[in-house]
Structure 1
């Protein structure tokens, strides 16, 4: 197995969309995927894109991806990297692709003087939790995530 990681391009929008759908199925949320391939092209590959994507390949064949963006810590006075999604195809799991994607992004964060590298994991995904903790990642216990979306977001924004 020869793993390589590269920036995704607009030509990868279809495979990125496929990986997003497969991830949603794994997370039992397939019906929540609203993005189309065109949405992926616009949001990840336009000149105004604020999120970024990398592709992991095995012998030139895409087997996984990660989408990330920069956040900011006022306490550190530095950017951070936030990993939105990471996915590796089932047949490629356990062969180092997920760890390679994470290490690539950790190195990117260090090289760009970021103070943090953060992500979220579903509380029922024990294999992922065990994997993250195996290399020193720590669960945040003091902070709860909140979200406004859909009609609630529109209603609040208009009030």
Structure 2
């Protein structure tokens, strides 16, 4: 198949009587087939939404979170990642052989802003690789591609959150040159609380902020 694909181009460089040479066919086919399998990474498309949701479910299991806490739907992902107002971006790594292409993970990121540095910040929200493809350089593909995106957007830094029990992830990230920031603690206000405050115009006087 690969030989037939290359044949039109070869016509310009090799005499026709040599094109059907078994030796030439063997050399070209063995060389092209030896380049597989490969790993590559690409931007997600709307067609990837079902597999992104599947990977989010797998990630919840890996992070020891109840799957029932995952409320996002395909409709949400399609609207917010691929709609008119894009709130996040997604990259998909793939395992590629001569006859198949398999999505093997995902990462979701978006941009925030550093008021202290006057530059954008790339925040990685999720990063996941299927267990059977770990340890094969896929995380490095993620790192390199995300760094290219951050550099192209003149970002001051890249940031993400890590569960405190995930020492394996800490070791990998520190090997990349990242560092922990122990002086910060993540604070969250759940939706039901923010809605309560949003409907309350009273002024609180119990803080010095």
**TM-score over 0.5 (shorter chain):** yes
TM-score by length of 2: 0.74
> What is the root-mean-square deviation in Å for CA atoms of aligned residues?
1.0
Q: What stretches of structure 1 of length at least 5 have no aligned partner?
A: none
- The one of 20, 25, 28 aligned to 2:61: 25
Query: Which protein shows a greater Rg?
Result: 2
CA-CA distance at 1:50 after TM superposition: 1.7
- The one of 87, 91, 94 aligned to 1:54: 91
Partner of 2:192: 151
Partner of 1:15: 51
**SS of alignment partner, residue 139 of structure 1:** coil
If asked which structure has higher relative contact order (CA below 8 Å, sep 6+), I would say: 1
- In the alignment of these two chains, the number of paired residues is 159
CA-CA distance at 1:126 after TM superposition: 1.1
CA offsets per residue over residues 46-101 of structure 1, 9 Å max, x none? 11112111111110210011100001001111101000000000111111111211
Partner of 1:104: 145
> Greater shift after overlay, 69-78 or 97-106?
97-106
Aligned equivalents of 2:82, 2:177: Cα separation in 1: 32
Higher strand share: 1
Correspondence 1:72-83 to 2 at 5 A = 72-83=113-124
Aligned equivalents of 1:37, 1:79: Cα separation in 2: 28
Aligned equivalents of 1:13, 1:157: Cα separation in 2: 32
CA-CA distance at 1:35 after TM superposition: 0.7
Structure 1 runs (4+) deviating above 2 angstroms are none
CA-CA distance at 1:150 after TM superposition: 2.5
